[in-house]
Amino acid sequence: MSAIEERREVLSHIPQDYTKRLMVFGGRASGELAARIAGKLDLDLGAVDLRTFSNGEVYCRYEESIRGADVFLVQSTAANESTGMTPNDALMELLVMIDAAKGASAHRIIAVMPWYGYSRQDKKSSPREPISSRVVAHCLEEVGVDRVLTMDLHAGQVQGFFTVPVDHMTAMPMLTQWFMDQPFEDLVVVSPDAGRVKLARNFARKLGCHWAVLEKERPAQQVAEIGYVVGEVRGKTCILVDDMIDTAGTLCAAAETLREEGAARVIASATHGVFSGPAYERLAYESSGIERIVVTDTLPQRRGAPENITVLSAAQTLADSIRRIFTDDSVSEIFAGENQLF
């Protein structure tokens, strides 16, 4: 027997029945959501030691072997009041979790970012500005992420900042289902600006109703001025749809315009409830006149939310996506190919 044949004989004795392992870990910005996702997958949430030293530096250590596993790291780059995390803390923590997983010989490292921080800074609006969402993408790739799973990005071009695969989920099915389960009548879906027309149109198509659009200008950052309504809203139940609600300035201005145009009721829906600054005070029904604000749990909510805010869980959608990524099945089939909203 030749040396080559002997080597082939030895290699053939190596066991080939490799079993893939799926592991889910949560960062401190999304610990509760990560636990819900793991529960949907019938898994125990992975054990990881995450700490912030007294000087503000972040530390990470996995407390179990992750060698050869597909590791899903759930972390929205958002603030979490209960754990004292800021968006920048969350981003840095995700980066060190990825690096630790890479050094521990994980097979694949997938960043599950239900809320992709810095997504609004996706282009240069003025000279000498950064494109910060691209910076985040480069950081994730350079530290070693293999794939990114996110939900309802603010802008489609964020996907183009990556060279690794980006799976884009949408909360539209769960949001539209919530409205279909309610006894609302004479619905019209309203886009707060021209940039969300496609979202409003798709939302209205799911509900089987008409849609309208508001004319909006931004004289300064986080300042919105609503001009007029294109479409019929008088006597209607208006559903304002957007991808996110931050300080709620746009939403409240839009609701006021709709009421001035004769809308019977105003309801709001968005995937991401950022709710920073004076958002809670503005959104209270007594201040805004918005009967209900429906969001998902892609971001952790701080205490003191007004009673008209309803939070739906995106855990099942994210769990289904994770399961399909792990088994190398089609992710877009979850949404029948309708998860590309841009």
83 contacts: CB under 8 Å, gap ≥ 6: 28, 29, 31
Fold entry, domain 21-170+316-335: Rossmann fold (3.40.50)
Percent share of the chain, pLDDT over 70? 89
Calpha distance 79→88 (Å, rounded): 8
Residue 192: pLDDT over 80 = yes
Reduced 3-state DSSP string for 325-338: HHCCCCCHHHHCCC
Interatomic CA distance for residues 26 and 74, integer angstroms: 5
Averaged over 28-55, what is the pLDDT?
97
pLDDT of residue 176 exceeding 70: yes
Give catalytic residues, as residue numbers: 216
Mean pLDDT, range 155-160, rounded to an integer:
92
Nearest residue to 102 (alpha-carbon basis) of 142, 158, 63, 47: 142
pTM: 0.90
Identify the CA nearest to 140 among candidates 151, 130, 148.
Answer: 148
Choices 3.40.50.150, 3.20.20.80, 3.40.50.2020, 3.10.20.30: CATH for 172-312: 3.40.50.2020
Is the confidence at residue 217, as pLDDT, over 80?
no
Cβ-count burial of 112 within 10 angstroms (0-12 exposed, 13-18 middle, 19+ buried)?
A: buried
Q: What percent of the chain has pLDDT over 90?
A: 82
**Angle, helices 172-180/197-207, rounded to nearest 10 degrees:** 40
Mapped onto helix, strand or coil, the DSSP state of residue 341 is coil
- pLDDT tens digit string along 284-336? 999 999 999 999 999 999 999 999 999 999 999 999 999 999 999 988 888 76
Question: Mean pLDDT over all residues of the chain?
Answer: 91
Which stretch of 92-106, 188-202, 262-276 has the lowest confidence by average pLDDT? 188-202
Where do you find CATH 3.40.50.2020 in the chain? 21-170+316-335, 172-312
User: How far is residue 104's CA from residue 319's CA, in Å, rounded to a whole number?
Assistant: 24
Q: Compute the distance between CA of residue 253 and CA of residue 263 in angstroms, rounded to an integer.
A: 14
